[in-house]
Amino acid sequence: MRYFKNRAKSRIIAAAALAAMAFAGVASAGESPEHAVIVISCDDGSYELVSAFRAPGPVPKAPRSLRGHPLRVAVVSKEGKVLFEAGLRDPALIRGEFARAGRDGEIEGHHITRTRYTFAVRVPMYEGARLDLFTLKPKLRRAADPPAVAFRRTASFSPAALAKVLP
């Protein structure tokens, strides 16, 4: 008798799992059913769209906190409402560790800031929305928790500009 109870229980669990998988791709209200991976390049503070491609499903969940991220992207509706916002690590910053000259076993750390770099960002797709890029003022780039007023809009990509790079 125990065998049949466990078997029935496992069938119910399997059916629930299949139902969950069937509805996993359905976007909830206000959530974009697909997202884009957008590649942006920066040459001495001037940002340009390089390429992009569409990806199925909503944007993978990111940490809720924007702390410690010197770059932020926002998807903004025609009405000016922020539909999505995410923080990014500083793509201009490279940290290197090297053996200290003349001292065995000691390591020396260096931060190198590049003026030319390329990075990718995942954002949900909304019809008619623009993509805004915000950066920290240069003196605050390494601040752990900068105030919101320390960010400035560095670039804005219109729906027309996004349409040129998105297939």
Residue pLDDT, tens place only, 46-104? 999 999 999 888 887 765 566 667 888 999 999 999 999 888 888 888 888 888 887 78
Under DSSP, the state recorded for 100 is: P
CB under 8 Å to 50, separation ≥6 — which residues? 39, 40, 41, 118, 165
What tens digit of pLDDT does each residue of 137-156 get? 766 666 666 777 778 899 99
Q: Which domains does the chain have, with CATH numbers?
A: 29-165 (2.60.40)
SS3 77: coil
What is the C-alpha separation between 131 and 85, in angstroms, rounded? 10
pTM of this prediction? 0.68
What is the C-alpha separation between 119 and 40, in angstroms, rounded? 6
